[in-house]
Structure 1
C-alpha cells in the first residue's frame, strides 16, 4: 500500500453564521468571520489516495484522471464562489475549514478509479488546515 497526494488550489468567500443564534451570539462566537458580506481565502486542497503500485505503469492511479476528478468535483464548483450563497452543501452547514474538508470528501468518495480515498486536507491559511479521513 502506498499513499499518493495531489494538490489543487481554489479561491472562495464565506462567512460563519448560525441561524439559530442571535446576531450578538454569532458575533461573539465567530467574531469578524460573522460579517454577512463574507471574506475570502486562497485555499489549498490536498487529496491523498491509497493503493497498490501498478507493476506496468508504476502508478497508484492515473494522475491525469485524478486531476480531472478533483477539477470537476471540487474546483469547478468552489473556485471563485461565495460558499454560503452558491454551493449547495453550505446552504445548511457553516463552511468552516472542517466542514469544507468533509464536503470535499463526500464529493470525491468512490469516484477515483483504482485507488481508495485516504485523506482530504484543506488549508484555509498556511497555518490553519483540517484533515478528514472519512467515517471510522
Structure 2
C-alpha cells in the first residue's frame, strides 16, 4: 500500500514572555533580550501538522482531513488561540514558552488524540523568518 504525508495548516495568535525562573532577572534579560519584556509580546503563529500513513484503498485517504482539522482545533487552537501562554497554559508555568517548547506541547497534544496515521512532524512558524520543526525526538 502506498504511503503519503498529509499536512494541514492552522493559525493562532498568542502572547508570551521569554523568561525562565531558573535564571536571574539580569540573566533572562541578557539571554532573551526584547522578548523578555515584562509585559510580554505576541505572535501570529502558523502551525502545520504532518501525518504519515498508508493510503486506505477504500477511502483513498491517510486520514480524513476533517478529523485532522478537529484534532488541531482541540489540541492547539482551543488551548492557545488568543491566550497568554505563560498564564493560561499550565504546560508553560514551569518552562519558557519558546517556539521549540510550543512545538513539543503541540506534538504531545496531537499524539494523544490523533485517531489514525502516524504523527510525522510539527512545523511551527513563530514569524515568517523563525520556524521550528519537531518530530518527537
User: Same fold, TM exceeding 0.5?
Assistant: yes
1:119 aligned residue: 121
1:99 aligned residue: 101
> Alpha carbon RMSD of aligned pairs, Å?
0.9
2:85 aligned residue: 83
1:21 aligned residue: 23
1:33 aligned residue: 35
Deviation string 1:51-102 (CA, Å, 9 cap, x unpaired) is: 0111121111011111001001110000000000110110011010100000
* Divergent runs of 4+, >6 A: none
CA distance in 2, matches of 1:58, 1:84: 41
Number of matched residues?
135
CA distance in 2, matches of 1:102, 1:127: 19
TM-score (norm 2): 0.95
CA distance in 1, matches of 2:112, 2:15: 28
Cα distance, 1:114 vs structure 2? 2.1
* Runs (5+) with no aligned partner, structure 1: none
* Runs (5+) with no aligned partner, structure 2: none
Deviation string 1:98-119 (CA, Å, 9 cap, x unpaired) is: 0000010000114222211000
